[in-house]
Structure 1
Amino acid sequence: MTETAEIRSEVQGDILDVARRQVLEEGRGLSREQALACLTLPDERVAELLALAHEVRMKWCGPEVEVEGIISLKTGGCPEDCHFCSQSGQFSSPVRAVWLDIPSLVQAAVETAATGATEFCIVAAVRGPDRRLMEQVREGVKAIRAAVDINVACSLGMLTQEQVDELAAMGVHRYNHNLETCESHFAKVVTTHTWEERWDTCLMVREAGMELCCGGIIGMGETVEQRAEFAAQLGELEPDEVPLNFLNPRPGTPFADYPLVDGTEALKTIATFRLALPRTILRYAGGRELTLGDLGTRDGMLGGINAIIVGNYLTTLGRSAEQDLGLLVDLKMPIKALSQTL
């Protein structure tokens, strides 16, 4: 039996009919095999796929869009060798090591809240936090909470159980720790730590009561089968939020010459991940500006996306907050209120 025949046998009928019954009506996410069937639909069926994903989003998540801003507390000089990342100290990327002071952190949080955002994520380029970083995060979270009404999230690398408990006690609302890619492809993306180490941190975060944000990057040389594998593994993990990034090849990194993801492939991926994760916050993150442009960004919002990062990313430029917020107005998608995320 060919692989295509195996897929058809597994889904037992047209995949969009199957998904309508299983995901839209029952709220059960796609399996790995079903996700692959969606990812390999002919291009002329992309509009149908996006429309179904939008229906799923509206039924199981509602029309609100969660808005988030991010800031780098500690930039560059990371000891890990994530092949996509210009913050690795092992590559010749033109990113210098910088620590942000607490007043600057608070100012960024205040400016982020002024856009209507409900989430502000503090990010550090590290393998995992040392005592100095944990103390600075503690100071920063306390100062932000005193200055502005916004949820504080963190992304500080791999954690110990003690650090997980400490962050939860600080009042950190959500922790971001991306798996980056599926288990079978991970060793071609990172060699200085394992997929299992990341998975373990995610489990500890979820069990500690913090919300878990866990996604990855599409376009790092993975096959379409591995994208389906990744969607299914995220479905098993059940994170509260999945940020979808598309590779923006950075100078000096091993992935510097990788091609951008095709726009149609990107839209298939967005819709498929929504069908695999019907109740999850699915967030537009890095690379969408290059991969999709303005029109594609709109299509993704109508194809399953229900959260965005406004402004710039850690080492790359994003769309202006005004552009994204204007798009939400055009699409009649209200910004999720802070009271709904607490």
Structure 2
Amino acid sequence: MTAQAPAPTDDRRTDGDIIEIAREQVLDRGVPLNREQLIEVLRTGDDRLEELLSLAHEVRMRYQGPAIEVEGIVSLKTGGCPEDCHFCSQSGQFTSPVRSVWLNIPELVRAAKQTRETGASEFCIVAAVRGPDEKLMAQMREGVKAIHDEVDIHVAASLGMLSQEQVDDLVDMGVHRYNHNLEAARSYFPEVVTTHTYEERWDTCRMVKESGMELCCGGLVGMGETLEQRAELAAELSALEPHEVPLNFLNPRPGTPFGHLEPMSSNDALRTIAAFRLALPRTILRYAGGRELTLGDLGTKDGLLGGINAVIVGNYLTTLGRDPKEDLALLEELEMPIKALNETL
């Protein structure tokens, strides 16, 4: 099955004030904005940013409620990946400094315990691979069992592209959610990755959804794509209907093909958050990599009041995040409760 991007036009309005259209269409009726409407959102001026974020927050509260889902991540295998994703310092094809390292099972369980102590309800195991081989699947089986035996937390995984047999194996292990990002819009994907296709990623996402696992699927923005392609990515994710969308902002890594790019501006990032919420009113929208660099402390707060309803706490795979205590204190300040563990089942 090949990936199908959403149709470029439908009967949703594109005439008139886009924020008022979004208020009636998304907030009142729960109908996502389409690609053309999202382009208009992304083109709104800074003078209307506060109004736009306020609307996105209203949509989040109506369809998602006030609770925040908190997740920690750890890399089971870091570096040495054969793929050439141009944003990623884990690729073995670039001169970036991350080299291949494997994490053992006791370290994995220890990281899961530390994540649970922050109040997180989910722990994601990530491996820098094209897809898992037999060794990695065996280590996953051992690791997931060890975590479930000792830690009261959901286990998610991100292991690259999967076969149907591997999808079935992860279900048998008790993996709750699988992360596999589209990364970029279909039209821009060849500028980001050349060693595999958009369709291969889409097919893995489809198999995961059909398996009964929750699908976590998002992408990166600020990689040189146009506003139109940013809207295209949001619309494609809306068509895919994942359970969760992690939104990453490019943190240019030295030695990668995108290492020379400037981080996107805070206002562009906030407009993007609002646009994704208006494209995905019923989907968990998670802060992921790059928010510290792109938004800083004030912008992070603005995003939580502009459509975001989930966060990754602590460090990312190859970059540093905020101190988990800072994020948890901010959630307390905003009176946003952490979603209880049993509510994510």
What SS class does the counterpart of residue 300 from structure 2 fall into?
helix
| In 1: Cα distance, 2:13 partner to 2:85 partner | 35
Aligned twin of 2:256: 253
Q: 1:23-65: CA deviations, max 9, x gaps?
A: 1111111100111110001110000100000000000000000
User: Structure 1 CA distance, aligned partners of 2:331 and 2:103?
Assistant: 31
Q: Does 1:16 align with 2:30?
A: no
- 8 A Cα contact 2:68 2:310, kept in partner: yes
User: CA separation in 1, counterparts of 2:204 and 2:264?
Assistant: 29
Which string of whole-angstrom CA distances, capped at 9 and with x for unpartnered residues, describes residues 60-113 of structure 1? 000000000000000100000000000000001111110000000000000000
The Cα of 1:12 is off from its aligned counterpart by 2.1
Give the secondary structure class of the aligned counterpart of 1:239.
coil
Q: Give me the whole-angstrom Cα distance separating, in 2, the residues matched to 1:119 and 1:320.
A: 17
Matches within 5 A, 1:81-96: 81-96=84-99
2:31 matched to which residue of 1? 28
The answer to whether the 8 Å contact 1:176/1:212 transfers is yes
| Counterpart AA for 1:225 | E
Mapped pair 1:161 → 2:126: no
Which of 252, 270, 275 in structure 1 is aligned with 2:273?
270
Question: Structure 1, residues 118-163: CA drift from partner, whole Å, max 9, x if none?
Answer: 0100000000000000000000000000001100000000000110
State the percentage of identical aligned residues.
71
Match of 1:279 in 2: 282
1:222-271 deviation per Cα after TM superposition (whole angstroms, max 9, x unaligned): 00000010010000000000000000000110011100011100000000
* Partners of 1:212 and 1:44 in 2: CA distance: 36
Q: How does 1:298-337 map to 2 (within 5 A)?
A: 298-337=301-340
Q: How does 1:133-172 map to 2 (within 5 A)?
A: 133-172=136-175
Q: Identify the residue that residue 126 of structure 2 maps to in structure 1.
A: 123
Q: Unaligned 5+ residue runs, structure 1?
A: 1-5
The separation in 2 between residues aligned to 1:119 and 1:222, in whole angstroms, is 31
Q: Distance in 2 between matches of 1:171 and 1:26?
A: 36
Could you say what the CA RMSD is over the residues aligned between the two structures, in angstroms?
1.2
CA distance in 1, matches of 2:16, 2:214: 36
AA matched with 2:33: L
Conserved 8 A contact 2:13-2:21: no
Q: Deviations over 1:291-336 (max 9, x none)?
A: 0000000000000000000000000000000000000000000000
Q: Which runs of 4+ in 1 moved over 4 A?
A: none
Distance 1:130 1:328 in 2: 39
Residue 173 of structure 1 corresponds to: 176
Q: What's 1:41 paired with?
A: 44
Measured after TM superposition, the shift of residue 10 of structure 1 is 4.7
210, 219, 230: which one pairs with 1:227? 230
Equivalent residue, structure 2, for 1:75: 78
Amino acid at match of 1:209: G
CA distance in 1 between counterparts of 2:220 and 2:280 reads 16
Aligned residues: 336
Q: SS in structure 1 opposite 2:129?
A: coil
CA separation in 2, counterparts of 1:144 and 1:160? 24
Distance in 2, Cα, partners of 1:244 & 1:112: 20
Contact 2:18 2:37 in 1 (8 A): yes
Letter of the structure 1 residue corresponding to residue 297 of structure 2: D
Q: 2:186 maps to what in 1?
A: 183
SS in 1 for 2:260: coil
AA partner of residue 300 (structure 1): G
- Correspondence for 1:50: 53
Matched-pair contact (CA < 8 Å) for 1:175–1:210? yes
CA distance in 2 between counterparts of 1:251 and 1:228 reads: 27
Q: Distance in 2 between matches of 1:274 and 1:302?
A: 11
Contact 1:10 1:33 in 2 (8 A): no
